[in-house]
Amino acid sequence: MDVTLQLTSYPGLDERITILRAADEVDAVFVRTERFNILVDTLATPALCRQALDLLAEKMGRRPLLVINSHMDWDHFWGNAALDRSVPIIAHATATDRLRDPAAQQVLAEKKQEPRFQAVELVAPNITFAGETMALHGGDLTLELIHTPGHTPDHIAVWVPEIRTCLAVDTVEHPIPEVWSSDPADLCALIASLKQIQDLQADYVVLAHGQRADPAVVDSNLRYFARLRDRVAGLGEIDIGATDLADRGGVRLQDLVTVPEDMTAETRVFYERCHRSNLAAVIAAYKAGIKFISDGSDG
Ligand SMILES: [Zn+2]
């Protein structure tokens, strides 16, 4: 599959922000500030990242480039190898753990069967922060990096307070985000991260998948988890243990959210898999008696 890259935006979004759209694979984001340029994510291959840098050349001027890796999922950082070695690449400290995990090499080995991934090498971030937040002071714009675990342990979102814009990356997804594992702790983390983004009361919540910047998606993601909790709580012991549970009426993806009609079959399969992971985590939390979402989240 060949992916072409396009520069785009959303109606009303500040002109210092540019969306880099790699077809329907992923969106990265470019932010221009007075002091420096910031690229949030490097796309899925060095070739795509190179294309992005070429397309952005005019917007970049002579300002230095800083790169943020939102998290160590292949579609967001495999373009790192295209960057000059002097470019600062910022990520959360837990990104380093993910890169060290054998799973990182395993995903690469599997994906390399596709020709476009053959030039990928895993290039690690070179600046990491271990706390909850870190700020980049660009002069006219501030980029607050917020640790938002749950989708992955290393995930960060970016908040730009001056223009009330949140780059939510994969914490918020349309139609649903995906939790890291069936461990209730990850589910609790994802809900807390969604709440944290909701509390920003952003005018724009820019997603990496789903091609949207509508803050209402945050509310609908929280509503989905609240509904899922209620449906699971309404099931009996036998039903909860059923292996085909995710295919049964009431707890299927389409019973909980409106699945876009124009969604491709491939994307639908992907989100049904996400839904199964979420369902497993919600069931694990239910069995352990862990309350992962407050009752006010389904309004
Ligand atoms: Zn992603």
Which pair of structure tokens corresponds to residue 133? 């937040």
138 and 14 Cβ atoms separated by less than 8 Å: no
Torsions phi, psi for 189 (to 5 deg): -65, -40
Ligand 1 centroid, distance to 23 Cα (angstroms): 13
The pLDDT of 11-23, averaged and rounded, is 98
Provide the percentage of residues in the chain whose pLDDT is more than 70.
Answer: 98
In sequence order, what are the residues at sequence separation of 6 or more whose Cβ sits closer than 8 angstroms to the Cβ of residue 296? none
Ligand 1 centroid, distance to 200 Cα (angstroms): 22
Long-range CB contact pairs, 14-23, < 8 A, 24+: 14/160, 14/163, 14/165, 16/140, 16/141, 16/163, 17/160, 17/163, 17/165, 17/206, 18/56, 18/59, 19/206, 20/52, 20/55, 20/56, 21/211, 22/48
Largest CA distance in the chain: 64
Ligand 1 centroid, distance to 73 Cα (angstroms): 6
Ligand 1 centroid, distance to 95 Cα (angstroms): 14
Q: Is the residue at 284 inside a domain? A: no
Ligand 1 centroid, distance to 237 Cα (angstroms): 34
CATH number of the domain where residue 55 is located = 3.60.15.30
CA–CA separation, 61 and 37 (whole Å):
9
Q: What angle, rounded to 10 degrees, do the helices at 184-199 and 265-287 form?
A: 110
Give tens-digit pLDDT for 255-290. Answer: 999 998 889 999 999 999 999 999 999 999 999 999
Task: Please determine, for residue 297, whether its predicted confidence score (pLDDT) is greater than 70.
Answer: no
CA–CA separation, 270 and 259 (whole Å):
12
| H/E run at residue 276 | helix 265-287
Ligand 1 centroid, distance to 70 Cα (angstroms): 9
**Residue whose entry in the numeric block shows the structure tokens 């939102």:** 70
Q: List, as ranges, residues with CB under 5 A of the ion ligand 1.
A: 73, 75, 170
Ligand 1 centroid, distance to 68 Cα (angstroms): 14
Q: Is the residue at 88 inside a domain? A: yes
The pLDDT of 83-110, averaged and rounded, is 97
Ligand 1 centroid, distance to 27 Cα (angstroms): 9
List, as one string, the DSSP characters of 50-68: HHHHHHHHHHHTT--EEEE
Number of domains in the chain: 1
Ligand 1 centroid, distance to 285 Cα (angstroms): 25
Q: Is the residue at 79 inside a domain? A: yes
Ligand 1 centroid, distance to 26 Cα (angstroms): 6
Ligand 1 centroid, distance to 209 Cα (angstroms): 7
What domain range is 155 assigned to?
5-170
Give tens-digit pLDDT for 67-81. Answer: 999 999 999 999 999
Ligand 1 centroid, distance to 177 Cα (angstroms): 10
Ligand 1 centroid, distance to 139 Cα (angstroms): 29
List, as one string, the DSSP characters of 213-242: --THHHHHHHHHHHHHHHHHHTS-HHHHH-
| H/E run at residue 191 | helix 184-199
Amino acid of residue 282: V
Ligand 1 centroid, distance to 21 Cα (angstroms): 13
Ligand 1 centroid, distance to 148 Cα (angstroms): 14
Torsion of CA 141, 40, 6, 62, to 10 degrees: 60
Burial class (CB in 10 A: 0-12, 13-18, 19+), 148: buried
| H/E run at residue 39 | strand 37-40
88 and 66 Cβ atoms separated by less than 8 Å: yes
Q: Is the residue at 225 inside a domain? A: no
Ligand 1 centroid, distance to 220 Cα (angstroms): 19
Q: Is the residue at 13 inside a domain? A: yes
The pLDDT of 221-244, averaged and rounded, is 87
Q: Is the residue at 181 inside a domain? A: no
Q: Is the residue at 164 inside a domain? A: yes
Confidence of residue 299 (pLDDT cuts 50, 70, 90): very low
Q: Is the residue at 26 inside a domain? A: yes
- Give the dihedral sign, CA 257/274/178/160: negative
Ligand 1 centroid, distance to 296 Cα (angstroms): 28
Give tens-digit pLDDT for 121-180. Answer: 999 999 999 999 999 999 999 999 999 999 999 999 999 999 999 999 999 999 999 999
The structure's pTM equals 0.95
